[in-house]
Amino acid sequence: MIDLKNKLFALSTADGIGNIADASNLAFDMLSKYCPCEKADSLTVMGFLKGESDYTLMLDAHIDQIGMVVTDVDDNGFLTVKNAGGIDIRSLPSRRVTVHGKEKITAVFCSTPPHLASGEKTYDNITDIKLDTALGKKAKDIVSVGDYVTFANTPRELINYRVCGRSFDDRAAVACLITVAEQLSSKTLPINVAFVLSDGEELGLRGIRTASFKVNPDEAVAVDVSFGDGIGISSEECSPLGSGAMIGFAPTLDSKISKKLVSLCEKKNIPYTSEIMGSKTGTNADMISVNREGVKTGLVSIPLRNMHTDVEIADLKDLQSVCDLICEYVLSGGVKDV
């Protein structure tokens, strides 16, 4: 699990949004050790492991992350930003972020000074909370409208193999798929595996749309994060951290895949919970399943606390469960003969 942690921490601190390709470049280098890879025209990375049949299983995790984009730079060094992906704006004040301008700079969101605070503050629009570069006029030389802004918190270890940091959504899954490639690369596989580390999930499942078209798989499993437990979160809405892989059941998912994933966990003693959704899953699985003439698609998720913050919390034991499950699933041939 130390290896999974090292992969996750490295991937967490490399940024990937819009034209910022650090995460994508790092993932390409990591995945290339285990299988031939190529880059699509966006941040998307694809890797291929050849199997003994023509049947192709696509495994997807998204490489992009939530962030913000600069919409105004004023004369005093304050920026206006708009979110790119869902962000809890209430916790932005006094938060440190990275602005990807001509060079990377650290900036801090303005907070209301104590002597000016009156009553209960409401947070209506992200554009009301200015971002302070503390560079005054010089900010305009470095930052332009359209530049991306990302969280800056560094990953840290908690106790019990739990970890916190930014962009674990969905780098935790990227770390898992790279580990799966590592473990499968020396094995004889019954089917082909296409690894897709896709761009643009946070902006409407965009990257996987074109990647799925290109790969044209027979079957797919998306790996993402989902809601972990916490105070005030109903047990029906989440899975506890440390409870293993979350196996998705939903109208948009292929039930044969869901059931096979469960039976593999039972057979191989891999911890899991079932995640039952009433409609779409909100993940790339929804997009993959309607690719071309339709693709049987499953979803495996990692429980995550504080999703879309820079202190997302995951349990490395759950990442290990996901790796174990996906490896077993590939070695069993997916639902090729089911």
Q: Is the CB of 105 or the CB of 326 nearer to other proteins?
A: 105
- Rounded Cα–Cα distance for residues 124 and 119 (Å): 15
Q: How many residues bind other proteins (CB under 8 A)?
A: 58
Output 330-334 pairs: Cβ under 8 A, ≥24 positions apart. 330/57, 330/59, 330/180, 330/184, 330/189, 330/191, 330/193, 331/184, 331/187, 331/189, 331/190, 332/190, 332/260, 332/264, 333/55, 333/190, 333/191, 334/55, 334/57, 334/191, 334/219, 334/221, 334/257, 334/260
235 to 113, 304, 305: CA distances (angstroms): 38, 14, 13
Min separation Cβ 171 and other proteins, Å: 17
Residue list 105-164, contact with other proteins (CB under 8 A): 105-106, 108, 110-117, 120-124, 130, 132, 134-136, 153-154, 156-162, 164
x/- map, 55-84, other proteins, by CB under 8 A: -------------------x-x-x------
**How many residues in the chain?**
338
x/- map, 284-313, other proteins, by CB under 8 A: ---------------------xxx-xxx-x
Min separation Cβ 203 and other proteins, Å: 18
Q: Is the CB of 190 or the CB of 240 nearer to other proteins?
A: 240
Segment (H or E) for 70:
strand 67-73
Q: Is the CB of 139 or the CB of 327 nearer to other proteins?
A: 139
Cβ atoms of 188 and 17 closer than 8 Å: no
Contact region with other proteins (CB under 8 A), list: 86-94, 194-202, 250-258, 291-299? 86-94
DSSP string, 74-112: -TTSEEEEEEES---GGG-TT-EEEEESSSEEEEEE---
Residue list 200-229, contact with other proteins (CB under 8 A): 227, 229
Residue list 229-258, contact with other proteins (CB under 8 A): 229-233, 237, 242
1 binds other proteins (CB under 8 A): no
Binding site for other proteins (CB under 8 A): 74, 76, 78, 88, 90-96, 105-106, 108, 110-117, 120-124, 130, 132, 134-136, 153-154, 156-162, 164, 227, 229-233, 237, 242, 305-307, 309-311, 313, 315
